[in-house]
Amino acid sequence: MIVEPKVKGFICTTAHPKGCAESVRRQIDYVKGKGRVNGPKKVLVIGSSTGYGLASRIAVAYGCGADTMGVAFEKESNPEKKRTASAGWYNTAAFEEMAKKDGLYARSFNGDGFSDEMKKQVIDAIKSDWGKADMVIYSMAAPRRTIGDKTVSSVLKTTGEPYTNRTLDLRNNEITEVTVPVATEEEIQNTIKVMGGEDWEAWIRELFLADALEDGAVTVAYSYIGPIMTHPIYKDGSIGQAKKHLYETSKRLAETFSDRKLEAFISVNKALVTQSSAAIPIVPLYISLVYKVMKEQGLHEGCIEQMARLFMEKLPAREVDGEGYIRMDDWEMRKSVQSEIARVWESVSTENIGECGDIDGYWDDFYHMFGFRYENVDYSEDVEI
């Protein structure tokens, strides 16, 4: 079948198998070029198929020589209905194939990472194939979570009062104003259930209970802080409350499992185009400005550059700030970057976004996420989906 992109708002409903493999191959090549460091050897990545989780899996596999197990929730293809699989499904298949070829163990699980069944299945696999894991990376970004017979959803809203600011309308590249509404207390609590630390803690607890995690193991989860104009929607918004819970969970985990010498970190990552971040109001405009300014200053990184720097430099050095965060947003938050963005933010309009922001860079990353727009992939070719 010939696979073309079908973009609807901030999502693409098709994915290209060869293009996704190309994206994985490029990330692997990047890490191979960095050499190897001493690091974890048996790594479980929860949320391993796209964005930061996939890049983490590639970074530890190729940067530290680690065997990996991955958990993700992806859609299989349906050739009869001419429906491609999701990008994460193709990414995972490509990663497994390439890792195995390179002599690295890789096993993946597709299903709901929140569920007890998935935890049991993965822990059984760790016990039978590895004995124990020595690192757990938690990179799940989910819109909802089912607990028993109840499903709760996360929302991207403010807390306190509504917030109006400019945003980039991805349907037509226009700068418009958007007012983000206030989350109710119930919505905040649900967002914490989905994106906070409860499930991360459950994974670690279950792993220790089953004796499937080494003493002295390391676990990492991801957060975002960002500059002031994104605070009402991110850091101080409903998602920020969940991230606060995630941070508190890191402290609680280290305390609870201090006898097992567990180290739990939150890495604050850079704002990047991923399937999750494209859905957040105001953030796409901010990202297009960040890309422009950071590229101009020679500081731009994608997911794989960020994760290679995390697992090969900052984490081995245990480089944390005063609150214990690993700051992978160090370059994004530099004064030279933020003062330029703040200056441009005031004057950005539909007419000048082409010069002020990196719209092309935004869309390139967007299409690349689904395996499109790689110059060395022949998109006119029939492919097996």
Residues that bind ligand NAD (CB under 6 A): 47-53, 71-74, 88, 112-114, 139-142, 222-224, 269, 271-272, 274-277
Tell the smallest beta-carbon distance from residue 316 to ligand NAD (Å). Answer: 20
Tell the smallest beta-carbon distance from residue 72 to ligand NAD (Å). Answer: 3
Using CB positions, name the residue nearest to ligand NAD: 51
Residue 161 carries which DSSP code? S
Spatial contact of 48 and 71, defined as CB atoms under 8 Å apart: yes
Which amino acid makes up residue 21?
A: A
Cβ-based nearer residue to ligand NAD, 139 or 241: 139
CA–CA gap between residue 71 and residue 139 (Å, rounded):
10
Cβ-based nearer residue to ligand NAD, 257 or 286: 286
CA–CA gap between residue 31 and residue 60 (Å, rounded):
9
What is the CB neighbour count within 10 angstroms for residue 255? Answer: 10
Cβ-based nearer residue to ligand NAD, 214 or 265: 265
Residue tagged 């191979």 (tokens): 32
Instruction: Using alpha carbons, select from 105, 266, 134, 147 the residue that is nearest to residue 207.
Output: 134
Spatial contact of 132 and 212, defined as CB atoms under 8 Å apart: yes
Cβ-based nearer residue to ligand NAD, 71 or 348: 71
What is the CB neighbour count within 10 angstroms for residue 351? Answer: 10
DSSP assignment string, 9-59 = TTEES---HHHHHHHHHHHHHHHHTT---S--SEEEEES-SSHHHHHHHHH
Q: Is 247 a catalytic residue?
A: no
Cβ-based nearer residue to ligand NAD, 3 or 271: 271
Q: Of 30, 52, 224, 234, which residue is the catalytic one?
A: 234
CA–CA gap between residue 256 and residue 208 (Å, rounded):
11
Paired strand residues for 42: 67
Tell the smallest beta-carbon distance from residue 382 to ligand NAD (Å). Answer: 27
Tell the smallest beta-carbon distance from residue 306 to ligand NAD (Å). Answer: 9
CA–CA gap between residue 79 and residue 297 (Å, rounded):
45
CA–CA gap between residue 90 and residue 80 (Å, rounded):
18
SS3 122: helix
Paired strand residues for 268: 223, 327
Tell the smallest beta-carbon distance from residue 305 to ligand NAD (Å). Answer: 13
Cβ-based nearer residue to ligand NAD, 71 or 94: 71
Tell the smallest beta-carbon distance from residue 271 to ligand NAD (Å). Answer: 4
Instruction: Using alpha carbons, select from 108, 103, 104, 113 the residue that is nearest to residue 90.
Output: 108
Residues catalogued as catalytic: 234
